Amino acid sequence: MKRIFTLLLVIGILLAMFSGCNSSEAKTGETATAQTEQTPEVQDRTPSPEPEKTPEGIPEDPNYNYPKGKYETDADGWPLNSYSYDGPISLTDEVFTYWTVCYTPEYIPEGGMGEVDFRKKEQEITGVNLEYIVISIIQRAENFNMLLAADDLPDIMNGASAVYPGTKTEAYESGYYANILDYREYAPNYFYFIKSHKNSDKNLYDTIFLNEQLITTFVSFEDEMGFNAVPLAVRGDWLEEFGYTADDIKTISDIEDFAHILQTEKDITYPFHVISGNLDLNQVFACFDTFTALSGGGLPMYPAPSIIDGKVVFSYSNDNAKEWISQINAWLDDGIMTPDFLNMGVYPNTGDMTIYDGSCGIANGPFDSLVEMEERASDPNARWVVVRRPLLTEEQVLHLGSPNGYITYGLTEISTKCDNIPLAVSFCDWRYSPEGSFIQSYGVEGTLWEYDDNGKVVSTEWAIYNPDGADFIFLQLIYAANRFIEHGLKITSSKYMFEGGERIPADAFMYRNVACDGAYEWPAGVSLSEEEAETFNRIGIDLDTYVSENILLFATREKPMSEWDEYIRTLESIGIHEAQAAYQSAYDRYLERVAARS
């Protein structure tokens, strides 16, 4: 259950960081306290003479080993390769304040975060000294707002944008965040990764570049295309029993056929458990080319815009959505899913015992929960396998539901209060270098990992069978970089060194092994103007309320589908066309900006 709890925590953080980055989080009412630690003693250095200024205004100083000027670039200034730092970046005793979050402070050594072996190793290699300001996730928003009000932001901040009361651009224009693009020569690895992956991940460039001249954030990458999804899984032991394999489940019809087999051969009343009160929260059924989740339970999904033939379309406002809801009706009529689906848990950790007692054979759950789903099953032979994201036909090409990309959760900003921004930038960049990426991913040898007889990195017995009962994922957030909060280039395989974790990459490949062109996906770089946002906000709440209430009535068949056209007319009377027009203006402006790029 610990790994599942971790996933729920991550979902909350993800929503805060990516859905709520442009608005402040709710105040907790708790007293904002912070753990401030003293940096370890460092050797005194004889200061160099007053340095001369470069044309860019940055000091040339032998006490700094900056990457600037030491790597090749193309004609546009992009690095041609990753860069390995040759020794410490700094030989000075200056200290940066480092504002961060820890989920499990009970595992921080008595001497503070700076005494963690990973943190000591990072300081030893880079020569950069950090004074850690460690706060809880609950206190983060309140603490940040206090620092903001006092105009006393720390030098380096993890996830400040998640709690800043405005946009990143506004934070920069207000003089709070440094523009990393002004110091790009000090971050060769960060910009090399962007250059190398911006064509394969269409949202990467626009997530990082707020405009052509502004980057405020070091984001966290993974070295492999991410799969931040909750897949569709079926009982693999039952598949084999009836002569099937996971490869045979490709379409919705295949799922329905398997459900009928379970009803007749296993006497399971409702074998299909994927739909809940948020309908398809995890977009398993993206094959309908519409957003299939629904606002509710504190999860805002509306308007979930998509682009169809160049036009903005909000969720649950077209015939694609009608077909999707009609499909839910068909499953109810067919009897493969319970009529009480609104009260069903989204994942097995929310109390759905059907996952464990054998009365369900088709479900969805986090990748890292499948082993637990098997271990807790009443049937010792239970085995869950991931199948492909289902299609309407085997030849279908999905227009929504493309892979998530390389960007993950962590965010780091540098304050304009920082006295040495070039050094702070290079320090952040080190975590994207080959050496820095490895250490921040795995930590120090002997703690979480070691080499086996074949030279392969494997987890230590202490990490897997921790004497204090600590889960591997939580240990990794202490003894390596906290990937949910901090910046860096994470080696994907490092996350799956726990028992059963080795199956996750293969499961992820299976799930997304379908054709997808992403043609309808909403670009990450679209942003509404103040006037456009006011237009939408004036209408959006009423639209969302009406959609959420009526779609559930359609889904449960309390309202017949024959009233769909009337439902659409009501959306129009509320103002959906005006709201979509605001988004359309923002999207058209985005296209102009993309066309103007060099």
Report the CATH number at residue 119: 3.40.190.10
User: Does 80 map to a domain?
Assistant: yes
Q: From CA 222, how far away is CA 224, in angstroms rounded?
A: 5
Q: How far is CA 229 from CA 168, 206, 233, 236, 281, in A?
A: 26, 21, 12, 20, 10
- Please indicate, yes or no, if residue 453 is contained in any of the structural domains: no
In a domain, 23, yes or no: yes
465 CB-near residues (< 8 Å, 6+ apart): none
Domain assignment of residue 25, yes or no: yes
- What's the mean pLDDT when you consider all of the chain? 86
Question: Which residues touch 323 (CB under 8 Å, ≥6 apart)?
Answer: 288
What is the tens place of the pLDDT at every residue in 150-180?
Answer: 999 999 999 999 999 988 999 999 999 999 9
pLDDT in the model for residue 5: 40
Is residue 511, in this structure, part of any structural domain at all? no
Predicted TM-score (pTM) of this structure: 0.78
Of the pLDDT bands very low, low, confident and very high (cuts 50, 70, 90), residue 498 is: confident
Q: Is residue 421 part of a domain?
A: yes
Q: What is the rounded radius of gyration, in angstroms, for the C-alpha atoms of the chain?
A: 26
pLDDT for the residue numbered 299: 67
Using one digit for the tens of pLDDT, what is the confidence trace for 78-99?
999 999 999 999 999 999 999 9
pLDDT tens-digit readout, 23-66:
322 222 232 333 333 333 333 333 333 444 344 545 568 899 99
Q: Per residue in 206-255, pLDDT tens?
A: 889 988 899 999 999 999 887 667 889 999 999 999 999 999 999 999 99
Other C-beta atoms lying within 10 Å of the C-beta of residue 87: 9
User: How much is the average pLDDT of 411-425?
Assistant: 97
Looking at the domain assignment, is residue 114 inside a domain?
yes
566 pLDDT band, cuts 50/70/90, is very high
Residue (of 548, 10, 541, 547) closest to 278 by Cα position: 548
Q: CA torsion angle for 15, 17, 20, 22 (degrees, to 10)?
A: -160
Overall domain count for the chain = 1
The residue range of the domain holding 89 is 2-227+406-443
Proportion of the chain above pLDDT 90, given as a percent: 62
Bridge partners (DSSP) of residue 407 are: 221
Phi, psi of 181 (to 5 degrees): -65, -30
Q: Which residues pair with 489 in a beta bridge?
A: 221
Please check whether residue 390 lies inside any domain of the structure: no
Phi, psi for 217 (deg, rounded to 5): -135, 135
